[in-house]
Amino acid sequence: MAPGAGRLEGRVAIITGAAGGIGRGTARAFAAEGARLVLCDLAEEPLRELAGELDAECRLVVGDVAEEETARAMVAAAQKGFGRLDALVSNVGLMFFKDIDEVTVEEFDRVMAVNVRGMFLACKHAIPPMVAQGSGAVVLVSSGSAFIGQEFDGVSTFVYNTSKAAVRQLATSLGTRYAHEGVRVNAIAPGVTRTGQLGAFRPDLEPEQEEEMFAAAAQQLAPIGRYAEPEEIGRAIAFLASDDASYVVASTLVADGGVLAR
């Protein structure tokens, strides 16, 4: 079925980290497929701008995914606003670069809180109503970094990589647990994707420098020879949330332009 052909027509989906990057691309892809959306992010104004541009019914939740109240609010918004919940896309993730002898306990805990605890909390509150209705799909955004050792300008990304490996395992474990109750849980592992994460971590970079770094990384790493646009990853997530992926359970879809195949 072609993109925009209504694979998610009438379904209700929560998307976290929706204001930018892969979350924004996913919101666009889901809207094109006919979904009704609960969009969550810390940044309220970009969230409102996104809702205004989408041809979809939207409910907005502003909050920190690392806090349980945000997870409760997202699910409540779906149930009160639309009467059901069919899909969860848990997408928020902090990029982090530091070698192990420089990382503080507070920094480690914050990355794990956002990247792992946030997904645990979203699943904790989203899966029970899906089980109650006998159907649902959860997609957790992991990373190609979950499979490899990785450095950035010679500095380790081990904290980020470890968190994304935990996300991949969370999808595996929840996928096997809830498949017989009609809830499919999977992960996606994007490769180099043109998001704002690098700029958020390195505010010293000029936009053209950031673009050059993304392009160089993609040329070096990906056989396809380019980076992914957020909407490309969003369409892959829409596939996992749709009935086209009805037999895909507890799996990780690698969408990395061939990086891990080298």
Active site residues: 160
Is residue 26 exposed (0-12), middle (13-18) or buried (19+ Cβ within 10 Å)? buried
CB atoms within 10 A of CB 212: 12
Which among 76, 64, 162, 79 is positioned nearest to 118, based on CA atoms? 64
250: left (phi over 0), alpha (psi -120 to 50) or beta: left
Residues 6+ away with beta carbon under 8 Å from 175? 184, 185, 186, 249, 250, 251
Residue burial 54-79, b: 16+ Cβ < 10 Å; e: rest = bebebbbbbbebbebebbebbbebbe
Is residue 246 exposed (0-12), middle (13-18) or buried (19+ Cβ within 10 Å)? exposed
